[in-house]
């Protein structure tokens, strides 16, 4: 495939130079902070956000716990699926990294030799952010905000075009949303089985709703009508 952006006159390249130009103007220590944040810090922050959401859902417990945890488990799985989907996309587009075609970029991290479109980092963080939003709005909004920051960092670092990032956002969102219904339908029975276990059940809910009644509901594999399947993002 032809390179998506070969001319410095197109908006994608102009925006690349504008954002990456901030790295040239920034002090050295700030560039190092952005390098670590964009390459490692924000992906780790997304993992911690998923763990924080799980602890919150588990602590709250109640009849929504099974469906909420099932939706939450889908968030990192969505990121993995999105990265797999990106493999043939990258091979088909074959877009080189921007610093290979454009001079004068301040590249903050060396050794990037794979194709540029679409950004794996943007794909992963947005898939997790949207997946979190399906499970819990408050954590999901925080996750989407971190994903947007990740996308900015990738362009700031000089390793991606803006459209690489936008493509990653679109791919991560599409996978997380479109596959969420069948994924949660498959995950919910598994999470319900875990919830029935005397020991592993606390991975799902530390406090089943209704005391003994809640335990009986989990043991019977049933949830009250109007439970968390009505609105997973409560």
17, two tokens: 């130079």
- 85 by Cβ neighbours in 10 Å (0-12 / 13-18 / 19+) ranks as middle
pLDDT in tens, 40-87: 999 999 999 999 999 888 888 777 888 889 999 999 999 999 999 999
Assess contact for 205 and 195: CB atoms under 8 A. yes
Q: Residue with structure tokens 């019977």? A: 220
pLDDT at 74: 95
Cβ atoms within 10 Å, residue 90: 17
pLDDT in tens, 172-213: 999 999 999 999 999 999 988 888 888 787 888 776 544 434
């Amino acid at each position: 495939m032809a390179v998506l952006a070969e001319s410095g006159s197109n908006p994608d390249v102009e925006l690349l130079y504008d954002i990456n130009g901030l790295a040239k103007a920034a002090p050295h220590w700030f560039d190092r902070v952005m390098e670590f944040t964009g390459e490692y810090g924000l992906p780790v922050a997304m993992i911690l956000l998923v763990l924080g959401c799980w602890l919150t859902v588990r602590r709250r417990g109640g009849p929504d716990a099974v469906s909420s945890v099932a939706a939450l488990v889908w968030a990192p799985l969505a990121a993995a699926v999105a990265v797999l989907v990106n493999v043939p996309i990258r091979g088909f587009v074959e877009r080189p990294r921007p610093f290979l075609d454009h001079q004068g970029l301040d590249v903050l991290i060396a050794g990037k030799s794979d194709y540029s479109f679409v950004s794996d980092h943007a794909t992963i963080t947005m898939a997790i952010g949207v997946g979190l939003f399906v499970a819990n709005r408050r954590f999901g909004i925080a996750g989407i905000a971190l994903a947007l920051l990740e996308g900015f960092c990738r362009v700031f670092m000089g390793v991606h075009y803006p459209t690489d990032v936008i493509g990653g956002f679109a791919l991560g969102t599409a996978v997380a949303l479109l596959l969420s219904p069948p994924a949660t339908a498959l995950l919910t029975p598994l999470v319900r089985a875990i919830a029935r276990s005397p020991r592993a059940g606390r991975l799902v809910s530390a406090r089943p709703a209704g005391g003994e009644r809640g335990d009986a509901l989990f043991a019977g594999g049933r949830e009250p009508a109007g439970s968390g399947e009505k609105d997973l993002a409560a």
